[in-house]
Amino acid sequence: MPSCPLCTPEHETLLWQGSACRIILVPHAHYGGFCRVIWQAHVKEMSDLRTEQRQYFMAVVFGVEAVLRETLRPDKINLASLGNQVPHLHWHVIPRFTDDAHFPDPIWATAQREGQVHPADQATLRQRLEIRLKELSVE
């Protein structure tokens, strides 16, 4: 799909790439560890994937969650798969802190306060994702 921004990425901060998906760091001023896990092929819904592809994709999402929890020690992790504006399979993995700008609401809601920023070190995330996900593959 030529107009899909996830099919033709520009200016992504790639943290990890596997056999069927990639993980990018989302540039967000308030959420330093905000990651997006993107299925490489243009697929619209999870149920369009074969069972083993779904298992692989979710194993990657859960791996990102685990790395963010170990690295940033957030109060909560938000997982979201919306795709209303970009109908290309992707998951948002967002570390949340009780002192962030939107807590307890979603990050897309109106900010509750100025909030603290909890930065993430890209090199550390890359290294830990590589270790955590090195044995994952999908046929």
pTM, two decimals, is: 0.93
pLDDT digits (tens, 9 = 90+) for 29-50: 899 999 999 999 999 999 999 9
Residue 108 lies in a domain: no
Residue 1 lies in a domain: no
pLDDT digits (tens, 9 = 90+) for 101-126: 999 999 999 999 999 999 999 999 99
Residue-level pLDDT at 138? 63
Beta-carbon count within 10 A of 51 CB: 7
Structural domain harbouring 54:
13-98+117-133
CATH number of the domain that residue 121 is part of: 3.30.428.10
Total domain count, the chain:
1
Residue 2 lies in a domain: no
Residue 106 lies in a domain: no
Give yes or no for residue 139 having a pLDDT over 70.
no
Give yes or no for residue 137 having a pLDDT over 80.
no
**Cα 87-46-125 angle, rounded to 5 deg:** 85
d(CA 105, CA 80): 13
- Report the sign of the C-alpha dihedral through residues 106, 110, 116, 120, in that order: positive
